[in-house]
Amino acid sequence: MKQLIQIAGSLCVLVPFVLAQFGRLDTRSVAYTGLNLIGSTVLSVQAAQGRQWGFLLLEGVWAGVSLVALLRAVSGGVDESPTTLDRAST
């Protein structure tokens, strides 16, 4: 059963990523960030239960960033300003 939960969590992270890479899903959308939050949270819990600290760090940070992005997407507060990299290329 643990393996099925891990696979489901992984798919919640991987499917939106693949769709975004092929231009089928916006990385700032509620669907993308919501699925990332669900998947990374599931994997964080599994990592904590298995005392896999490196994996917990990775997935915990992923979940935190996904939560912030989801809250921005839901509130419509997406920052449209250019990033530092964008400014450097102009």
- Please tell me the predicted confidence (pLDDT) of residue 85: 47
Say how far apart CA 47 and CA 80 lie, in whole Å: 35
Residue 78 pLDDT class (50, 70, 90 cuts): low
Mean pLDDT of the 12-34 span: 95
Say how far apart CA 26 and CA 81 lie, in whole Å: 17
How many alpha carbons lie under 13 Å from residue 35 in its C-beta half-sphere?
19
Read off the tokens for 25.
Answer: 């899903």
Q: What letter would DSSP give residue 24?
A: S
